[in-house]
Structures are given as C-alpha cells and as structure tokens.
Structure 1
C-alpha cells in the first residue's frame, strides 16, 4: 500500500515537546500506535487518551486494513491485548460480510483469549449487569466458535481460570458446534467443570506446596526433584523456563539438568517457536546478575536452605541467554562490510518509563535491546546514545546483552533531553558518509538549545545534499504517539514500529522497495 503525501503545510504539526513534527497517514499512525501499545500509561499520553485516538483512527481506515493489522499484531508482533481491542472496535463498525469472523479467529492464539476477548467486548461496549454480553456480534460469535474448535482438553484445562467470564460462560454465549463426538464430550466437561487438571509447572509446584513434610530438608529435596522432573518432562514451556531461572538455581538442580536448561534456552528452533520479545531475555539476564526481587513464594523458604542455590552455574545461563538473543537476530540482512551504519539510541527522560505497570524493563531498554541486536549484524557500524548531547560508544559486536548493560550503565553521561538532531549534526560537520542512519526513539525529538536551523528535518536535508545523497534514515518508533520528527516516505526517511525482533523483517521489506505497511497488507485472513 502506498499513500499520497499531504501538502507541506497540512503535513506539519508539533510534537508533545512543541517541536516541529509531521503527521502520518491514519494507517501509518494506527500501525505505530498498535504495535507499541502496552495497555499502560506512556510518558506523554494516558491509556484512555490513546484508546480514544485508536478508535478515531480505526474509523478512518479501511476495515480490511484494520483486520489485517489485528492479525499481524497477534501473529507477527506477539501482542495479545491490543489485537482483541482492534477486533472489538471493528465489530462495532463493520458488518455485511465475514471479515470480523475471520479476524476474530485469527487473533485467538490461546484458549484463554476466548474469554479475554469477551471481557474486552464487555468493557469497550460498556455492558453491565444483566446486559453484560447480550447482543454479541454474530460475526464475532462465529469467529469464536471457530476458535473453540481448535483447542484440546490440555489447552482448555491450562487456561480454565476463575475470571469474571469463565470458559463455561463463553461456551454458552458462543454455542460452538462440536466437530465430532469427542469434542462434544470435551465441551460437556467444560460445562460440568470436569476438565482434567493439566500437568504444568504451576499445578505441580502448587500441589507439592500443599503437602506436609517431616522437615525443611525433606521439603527442599522434594522441590529439587520436582524441578528436575519438570525439566525432563518437556512440559515446562519456554517462557516459563525463562522466567524461572532463579527458582531453578535456588532449587539446586543437578548440573546435568542445568545443561538441559541451557541447551534449550540457546536452541534456535526453540527461540523461534517461543516468540518472546527480545527484552524478556534482558529481564532474565538482569535477574541473574543483579537479583532485586524475591523468588516466587513457593521457593522462598528454600533460599536459606540451599545457601543461594547453584550460583556457580550462572555463567552457563548467561551464555545460553546470549546465544538465544543471537538466534533471535539471525535473519537480519542487508549489512555487509561495504554498508556503513550509524545506530543511535534515545535515552531521554521520556524513554525511562516502564513498558507495563509490573515491569522493571523501561522503554529505553527496549530501544537499547533492538539496537544491539541490529548492531550485532552490522559489519561497518558506529553506535551511540543521545540525550542533551550525543556520544558514540565502542562495544564488541557479539555481546548483545552485555552491550545493553554497558549503555544502561552510561546513559547519564549524555543527559536526558531529546536532542536527536545532534546525531545528524555530528556526521554533517565531520562529513562522514553513512549509508544508513538508525534512530531508536519515541519520536519526541526537539532542540533544547532552541538554535534555529538545527531541527533534524533541516539537518537531514543538508546531510543528503552535502555529504551522502544516497543515505537512508530509519526511525524505529517505540511509542507510537502519532507524529514523526521527519517527513516519512520523503528524502529516504522510513518509519518502523514495534518491540519485537520482527521489526527487522520490516527493515528487510523496506530494503526491497516495500513500505512498512506492505507486511500488514500481505496478511491472509
């Protein structure tokens, strides 16, 4: 999809800092807002305000694009909440065909998302009391019915949680047709509450925690044996493994089991299947080198018994995490020895906002992580960070997580403004030819010195005219506020948005002459 550009006067606006910026097309703005939304207040925009902005944008876009964006966000960008919001809003605005049904089926990736979508529908349609879920969209109902047919007893049992809307409620609302007698028996179990309790790490450790032991030592031995059993069982999911590395350490599992954990963490196929945001690996890495939170409640009493767990094996885990993030970036292309690249990370105050209410990961951690993934695949690269000032920092290429920590340690050296124009001013004044300039930012760039002629748009035009006419500038938008500091699709300026390593597939598409939205439009419903 290509979009006509607005005239220069209509295209210009100001960002949240009052600096010159440029509006995006509704499709581009919706894309950027959706793939950077964590259902958490951002620095400049409350969650309710963003929700209303998304509603207005959805109404301006073609329904088919909105549907494809919802499925893209769920299946390619690994997002769970915002695709449900998109399909709920789409169901309000569109009817007359089966688009909503196809999109609904496409965004349901786990059994619990059936009830999550109904809860989202209830909330966004302001249904209360006896009218909570009456008049459910027929096409949404049809899509949910199709989703019901895709899950087995283990999947239903694993996510049969005691929420406001239960699987049993959803079954009665949706009335799915069983595809065979066995599935009808399964639906009957949902109704009667007789689903088999699944074998998961949560259920197994919870059951063990209810037992009485003769001594604390006996309890410690039991928990160690249970973790070793879980590791051997192949029932411990990759995400659960990633989030329980400290608990596994504290349980003092054998070195042979540690080797299994490390091998699985580093396995490229497992990494690809797990579909984890890159910053999840950073969170695990930090928890191992600087643990700041208590281990989960079931293991708290074991900490004293095991005297800190297998801390001697931490190096193996850190190596495995590094291999995992290297595997997540394995398909980044287009950066040979002849291609000069500049990678610039925004570490300003507005980037120091947690990505969600319970997360210790900040928005600028996401930017640093993506930047270091990219840096690891560039042969001819300079990398740095900007705030009040701009500084290049020399780090090794094959140490992604360690490099993020180095930037994290030194971010105060450049201050906390958003002077991204200094990145371009520097290479312009030094007359350094760069083929690609990559900015990882929330897009709210401004000039804290107020010097005229030093906005990034003006400097970029001068740089292309005087130093590197073929240079391209890529804005990696990490927050999706709706304005861009430069004119997108002009003068070799491109916008990519999102927190997943999948953003590099968009980068490849741009290299092949497509737009950032082409990947969305290629989604099949």
Structure 2
C-alpha cells in the first residue's frame, strides 16, 4: 500500500481556490482557537468562521472543548474563541463548566465576552440561566473593590448590563453601596471606598488633590495638570506604563527628561518584564501604537523589553531555513477586519516570529516568498521592528508555498529544518508541484528533514499534508515556540498539547 501521507487526496481547496489538505475537526478547532476572532479576513467572513466552529464542536467531546478553551486562553492568549467554547459548555450543561469558567473567564473583559456569547443565541439560548448566573455572581463577588470599579469601564455589554442580568448579592453594607454606585444609584458616600470618594471629591471640586488611584480611562476625562500626570506616571505599573505612553505624551509627562529616563528604565528592566509576563506580540503592538512625538528612548526601551520576552524562543538543532510569506493577503490585520482590528498585520506577526527565530539561531537562513522565493539580507542583529519594515517594503503578489522548496532544490540548499510562516492560502501553484509533493521529493535527499508550517490565520485546510515529519501549528502567541520545541524534541503536535491540558 502506498504511503497515504504522501499520496493523500488534494481534492480540497483553500479559501483562495488553491489545492489544500483538510484538517480533522479537532485540528481545525485548535487552529481557530489560536487564531480566530470571528472578524472578516482577506478571504473569509467572520460569520463563516462561526458556522465552521459550531459545526466542528458538534462532533467533538465536551472534554476536548474544555481542554481547548483553557489552552486557547492560557497559552494562546485569545479572547473570543475561549469565551464561546465556555458558553457552549454551559449550554450543554457539561460537567466541565466550573473548571473551564475559572480558568478562561479570568478578567472582567472576558466576563463581558462570555455574557455576550450567552445572550447572542448562538449557543442555543438567549438568557444566562441558573448555572451561568451563579458563575457570573461568583466572579463579581470575588473582584476586589478597586477591580470592580475598574471593570465598570467598557460596553457591549457593560458591567452594569451584566450585573442587572446576574443580580449579584453583596456580602455586606459597604459592598452593597459599591454595587449601587456602579449601577448609578444614589448612595451614602461614607460607605464607598476611599479611592472612589477621593475621585468624586475631585470631580465635584471639593478637593484640589488629583486622585492617584483611579482607572486611566477615568483620569483622562479629568482636568489634571502636568504635575498630576507626572505623579500618576511615577506610580504606574509596568503594564500601565506600556499601555499609556501616548496618554503621558499628551499630558506633558515627557517634557521632563528625568521622567523620560525613569520610565524608559522601568520599561526595559528585565525583572519588570518577566514579572509582567510580557509577550512579544504585546510589545510589538506597543511599538506600532506609539505616536511620533514619543521620545525615542521609549521605543528603545520596548526593544530591550522585547529581547527579554524572546528568551523562550527555541535553539534549533541542525541547519534551518525560515520562510516568511510576504504575499498581498498578509497585509490584513492579524486579528481580522472588524471590531477594533489590531495594528499588527499578518506579515508583521510573521516577521516577529521569523526574526525571533533568527535572533536565537544565528546560522539560520531567512527568506521571503510570494509566487517566488527571495533571498534577502536579513542580519541576525536587526531589531524585530527593523525586520518587519524590511519585509513590508517588499510585500505583495500571490502565494505559492511550494516556491520555497523549488528554490531550495534549484540552489541545492539542504537543511535539517524548514519553517514556513504563512496564511497558507497558496493558489499560484496550480500548474506547479504543490508543497507536499515537493516536500516528499526533498525527503528523498534529506531523509531526516522536518517541516514546521505555522499558520497565523483561521483555516480548516493546510498547504501541507498530515505527516509525522511535518508540524501544522497555528497561532501568533509565544505558545508557538513551545509547540515547535516539543515537535523538534519528539514529534509532538499542537493537538497533543491541547489533549495534555489537565481538567
């Protein structure tokens, strides 16, 4: 019998109409959990993604859904898909609901996502129900007074909407007063926490001392002086600093050179970065979002923080070729078009991963491809942002994943590891040998070679067949590095990682 992995049917087509290999229901759901935001992408609609997910979950077990929800949230840092999976388990009255809710709905924004999913009717109901109400009540009850106040920022649904649906019970009179205040009801101010009284006194003009402990979204609406903002910046955490550089600039904080130096040192401090559990993707987003008037020291500090965040990138044994897809479809936001799309494009996310791998593996080759494979000058000591800019300058064209293998064959490039970072929408190879066929031929020359195909978009197909020597992995968080390491150490897949989640 011929090897099914090599001679598998390619009757499936990807979204661009090219030849592709179908994924199993479980593998498709993993891909969506690590990349899907239910927004439109270059080739597909968000509504279609939702249909595919709901169809897929109907054919897998509650246990798998539970593990995937936890994995997608904790390892993938995703929001919408884990919240939806949690809502599906509630609708199914699964025994895993409590475990999943605790580990997936881990902040107020995720709580609002969950309630939105439940009320949408997508999971089969439009009310919370007894179980969901109890979960929401417990979540709200465990929030600290300050966290609850901070959570009152945000809409669709707002915390007020959530509280009106769940009717949380206060543990004492002071907490009851806080609930009333959040809901916009009249309340005896004496019962409120000090930080809210200080905020309200300043808003009403009863105090000249600006509140230092208040959510940044509330502070920006207050008539604060530059000195007030300096004091706020001095007391900000590492994460608050990263997220509010533009706010500080607007309010004159960076006019003070001592403040510039101090905040730059805070951002680049290794212990601060590790304690904040900063991820490369977040740091890249911060660098892309900062306004032009931000002092250059801030971007330099973020690049130093990036170096710390990239310490988990694996050192790969053997020669490696890293190929980054620069085709036109990679220009889309990595989170899709719709809602509030990320400023990071698919290409920039791919460049982040590619340059990170090159930084840690200085002898690796780094190439770009669209319908052809292009070798460029990509020094390993370039910063992530410099490399992203270089890739952006040559972006465009169609997609032919097989061009990488053809280039390797034509130039007799033999490596132990091939890593493709792409949206896998290969279509320009209709009249050429496809990637999997080329890979099978390459394996004749280099039997021990391995391929990693990293797909950063929600896809139910892949340009590569399901083979023992090929890893099909999805996502753009740090978890892709862990999955790569596990595969290179023993052929473990991302699906294995999901199934290993403890419930």
TM-score using structure 1 length? 0.81
Deviations 1:335-355 (A, max 9, x none): 25xx21111111111111123
Mapping 1:334-345, distance limit 5 Å:
334-335=315-316, 339-345=318-324
**Aligned residue in 1 for 2:20:** 21
In the alignment, what sits opposite 2:207?
A: none
Q: Secondary structure at the match of 1:40?
A: coil
1:493 counterpart = 2:470: yes
Equivalent residue for 1:203, pick from 213, 218, 235:
218
C-alpha deviation, 1:126, in angstroms: 8.7
Q: Secondary structure at the match of 2:35?
A: coil
1:146-185, aligned counterparts within 5 Å? 146-161=138-153, 163=155, 165-171=157-163, 173-174=165-166
Superposition map of 1:33-44 within 5 A:
33-44=32-43
Partners of 2:108 and 2:151 within 8 A in 1: yes
Q: Does 1:82 align with 2:81?
A: yes
- Compute the displacement of 1:372 (Å): 1.1
Tell me which moved more, 347-356 or 112-121.
112-121
Q: Deviations over 1:450-480 (max 9, x none)?
A: 444x2111110111112x2111100111112
Distance 2:392 2:134 in 1: 52
1:409/1:19 Cα in 2 relative to 1: closer, same or farther (>3 Å)? closer
Instruction: Show the counterpart of 2:374.
Output: 391
**RMSD between aligned residues:** 2.9
1:195-234 CA-partner distances (Å, limit 9, x unpaired): 636512222232126xxxxxxxxxxxx23x2332122113
Counterpart for residue 476 of structure 1: 454
CA-to-partner distance for each residue in 1:473-507, whole Å, 9 max, x for gaps?
0011111211011112x151101111112211111
Query: TM-score, normalized by length of structure 2?
Result: 0.84
- CA separation of 1:16 and 1:192: change in aligned 2, threshold 3 A: closer
SS for the counterpart of 1:486 is coil
Cα distance 1:383–1:186, how it changes in 2: closer, same or farther (>3 A)? same
1:258-269 map, 5 Å: 258-269=260-271
For 1:67 and 1:323, the matched residues in 2 are separated by 37
Structure 1 residue 446 corresponds to structure 2 residue 427: yes
Alignment deviations for residues 109-132 of structure 1 (CA, whole Å, 9 cap, x no partner):
2124333321221113499xxx95
Q: How far off its partner does 1:165 sit?
A: 4.2
Measure how far apart 1:418 and its partner are: 0.6
What residue in structure 2 maps to residue 294 of structure 1?
A: none
Establish whether residue 245 from structure 1 lines up as the match of residue 245 from structure 2.
yes
Q: Tell me if the contact between 1:444 and 1:485 (Cα under 8 Å) persists in the aligned partners.
A: yes
Deviation at 1:52, TM superposition (A): 0.6
The question of 1:379 aligning with 2:366 is answered no
Is 1:362 aligned to 2:379, yes or no? no
Give the Cα separation in 1 of the matches to 2:6 and 2:362. 39
- Map 1:394-405 → 2, pairs under 5 A: 394-405=377-388
Alignment partner of 1:521 is 2:502: no
Q: 1:167 to 1:359 in 2, by over 3 A?
A: closer
The answer as to 2:93 corresponding to 1:114 is no
Seen in structure 2, the aligned counterparts of structure 1 residues 244 and 111 have a Cα distance that, compared at 3 Å, is closer
Matched, 1:330 2:311: yes
User: Conserved in 1, the CA contact under 8 Å of 2:378 and 2:387?
Assistant: no
Q: Measure the CA separation in 2 of the matches of 1:458 and 1:6.
A: 10
Gaps of 5+ in 2: 200-212
The answer to whether the 8 Å contact 1:344/1:386 transfers is: yes
What is the SS of the residue equivalent to 1:366?
Answer: helix
SS of match in other structure, 1:351: helix
Displacement of 1:106 in angstroms is 1.8
1:300 alignment partner in structure 2: none
**Counterpart contact for 1:201–1:230, Cα < 8 Å:** no
Q: Does structure 1 conserve the Cα–Cα contact (< 8 Å) formed by 2:325 and 2:370?
A: yes
Give per-residue Cα distances to partners, 1:138-189, cap 9 Å, x unaligned. 4333433332343101111001136354435534543556678876675566
Residue 228 of structure 2 is matched in structure 1 by 226
- Kindly tell me the number of residue pairs found equivalent between the two proteins: 470
Residues in 2 aligned to 1:286 and 1:85: alpha-carbon distance in whole angstroms: 29
Cα distance, 1:505–1:178 mapped onto 2, change above 3 Å: farther
Q: 1:511 aligns with which of 488, 496, 501?
A: 488
Give distance in 1, aligned partners of 2:176 and 2:110: 21
1:300-345 Cα distance to aligned partner (Å, 9 max, x none): xxxxxxxx5xx6x41x222211112111210122325xx2111111
SS of the residue aligned with 1:445? coil
